[in-house]
Amino acid sequence: MCGIIGIVGTTPVQSRLIDSLKRLEYRGYDSAGIAGVVDGHVERRRAKGKIRALEEVLAADPLNATVGIGHTRWATHGGPSTRNAHPQTAGRVTLVHNGIIENYAELREALKKQGRTFESETDTEVIAQLLDAELKTRPPLDALKATLDQLTGAYALAVLIDGEDELIMGARRGSPLVVGYGEGEMFLGSDALAVGPFTNRIAYLDEGDYVAIDHHTARIFDETGQPVERPVTTVPASAALVEKGNYRHFMEKEIHDQPEGCQHTIAAYVDPLTDHTSVAGDIDWAKLERVQIVACGTSYIAGLMGKYLIERLADLPVDVEIASEFRYRQPALRPGSLAVAMSQSGETADTLAALRYCQAKGMLTAAVVNAQESTMAREVDVVWPIHCGPEIGVASTKAFTAQVCVLTAVAIAAARARGRIDEAEEQRLVKVLLEAPRLVAESIKLEDAVKGIAQEVSKARDVLFLGRGPMYPLALEGALKLKEISYIHAEGYAAGELKHGPIALVDEDTPIVILAPFDSYFEKSASNMQEVMARGGQVIFITDPEGEKHAPAGARVVVTAPKSDPLISPLVLAAPVQLLAYYVAVQKGADVDQPRNLAKSVTVE
């Protein structure tokens, strides 16, 4: 939820801390702050709002330090304010925190009884107060360990101590933290992107690890206090990968990245020479009785798409559930069945908790993730990476289509393994999948047609998205995209459900987006189109060339995507849906890449 950076440097650190926080803003942007060692003492600068507010503070009052930490916040305990902004300070301690301390209230009461007073409403300040108390009787690392042992909940920390000019301490449990290895400089960051401008040599801390970095070394300890080594890897997240290029927003860039993204994804799951699938994992698909997918948001919708694909092709039962509901309802699970966590970040707390619940029930576990070094990726039996490159826009686009590509390959592989299709059909389906990137690129060219209706849609109070079959999950995704970046209320519905209630919403002010390629559902979708037009609904009909020919007259607009096999039509029709949300948001002047109240990775429950 929040972004953390720490630099033990040899040159002025202010601008580098700010640059890194700008790369981390997608994690949260309610407030921001930095702190550094100035003439032996720690000073801090903070501001409510985005990084640019902090830059204004620094323009008037620069921080002249070479060792420092920084933080960009997504508020959990205590609203967005300068007082609640990180870094938080108590006595000799100044620190930044990502996560939620679940026992902070009782700790806060106990500290108050010891005579300590609090400046903020945050759980983070409790950590600083605890550590300051421990420092009275212990050296820094022992004091940190003693503090961590009192905490329940999730944290990633970066800590400065007054009087320790060349030391930054860090710790992680439930929220990611990496160590960056530079030349005579060392770094801490929430992820590889945070330290990407300074180094590509990264060590990922494990759950419970804590660390002390100085200019040349990182001393890492596990949760028992034993010194450990964590492997230093060279990461590919090059600076270029996270720049916008000539696009106005990361989301726009990432929509356009999809053909290439899907190509990378598919290439990892099929053999183009033999047209066979190659899906990792020691899974006996023939004997497998059930798959349980757990996820949140767009990843949940990708999982729903996977259900349609895997059940139709492989005749294998698939349940898909919202992660935050799943583990609290005590679901009936069977050891040996397969649990699949879907997550772009690999750090979503709800999904991680649901995954761990499945593991505790003896299930085989897989993760469909973009961040291959994420917590989820490191805890499952098999990782199915989506390989679409860093996704910075808070609204997920290329990760969605990449996830669907992975599940399409999994569905084909499972169908083959279960004898539902023969080799020839597997090869035909693989060839179809290999066409997807080209057709997605064609579909993105519908940009102008979609932009043309964005102005009208931007005035709507409510928008309905309707679809049947695999177009139903895409209808959900279209509604989610529109809601989260344009703030217009939208709902995705199974088109057949319209007459069971939602049709009451339809009037001449209601844009209705109907997703209907010319497939086995088309006739019924065309009837739905008639039903809403009869009530004045303004239909935006997204179809393909055959569908355009057969569409009932009267649609407000028809957007014609390229013809595609039903196996990949959700991938091909995703772009117009994403572009509609994007251009409506642009039309409304909304903050496309950092919508209000949201964060890219929700690492708290």
Positions in the binding site for ligand AGP (CB under 6 A): 296-299, 343-345, 348, 351, 394-396, 484, 601-602
Tell which residue, 50, 66, 27, 14, has the closest CA to residue 242.
Answer: 27
Characterize the bridge pairing of strands 232-234 and 201-204.
Answer: antiparallel
Q: State the Cα–Cα distance between residues 270 and 277, nearest whole angstrom.
A: 4
Nearest to ligand AGP of 188, 604 (CB atom) = 604
Nearest to ligand AGP of 190, 351 (CB atom) = 351
φ, ψ for residue 532 (rounded to 5)?
-75, -30
- What is the signed CA dihedral for 169, 173, 174, 176, rounded to 10 degrees? 40
Instruction: Provide the minimum distance between the beta carbon of 124 and ligand AGP in the complex, in angstroms, as a whole number.
Output: 22
Tell which residue, 492, 549, 490, has the closest CA to residue 518.
Answer: 549
Instruction: Provide the minimum distance between the beta carbon of 175 and ligand AGP in the complex, in angstroms, as a whole number.
Output: 13
Nearest to ligand AGP of 265, 299 (CB atom) = 299
Q: State the Cα–Cα distance between residues 352 and 356, nearest whole angstrom.
A: 6
Instruction: Provide the minimum distance between the beta carbon of 348 and ligand AGP in the complex, in angstroms, as a whole number.
Output: 3
Tell which residue, 236, 190, 211, 208, has the closest CA to residue 345.
Answer: 190
Q: State the Cα–Cα distance between residues 458 and 477, nearest whole angstrom.
A: 18
Backbone dihedral region for residue 153 (phi beyond 0: left; psi -120 to 50: alpha; all else: beta) = left
Nearest to ligand AGP of 76, 351 (CB atom) = 351
> Tokens in use for 66?
């070479």
Tell which residue, 453, 497, 456, has the closest CA to residue 475.
Answer: 497
Instruction: Provide the minimum distance between the beta carbon of 233 and ligand AGP in the complex, in angstroms, as a whole number.
Output: 21
Nearest to ligand AGP of 383, 394 (CB atom) = 394
Q: State the Cα–Cα distance between residues 389 and 384, nearest whole angstrom.
A: 14
Instruction: Provide the minimum distance between the beta carbon of 322 and ligand AGP in the complex, in angstroms, as a whole number.
Output: 11
Nearest to ligand AGP of 189, 547 (CB atom) = 189
Residue nearest to ligand AGP (CB): 297
358 flagged as catalytic: no
Instruction: Provide the minimum distance between the beta carbon of 391 and ligand AGP in the complex, in angstroms, as a whole number.
Output: 9
- Considering 48, 483, 588, 600, which one is annotated as catalytic? 600
> Tokens in use for 331?
């679901």
φ, ψ for residue 516 (rounded to 5)?
-150, 85
Instruction: Provide the minimum distance between the beta carbon of 172 and ligand AGP in the complex, in angstroms, as a whole number.
Output: 18
* C-beta separation of 365 from 383 below 8 A: no
Cα–Cα distances (Å) from 56 to 23, 48, 53, 526, in that order, read 18, 11, 5, 55
Nearest to ligand AGP of 323, 441 (CB atom) = 323
* Neighbouring C-beta atoms of residue 184, cutoff 10 Å: 9
405 flagged as catalytic: no
Active site residues: 2, 600
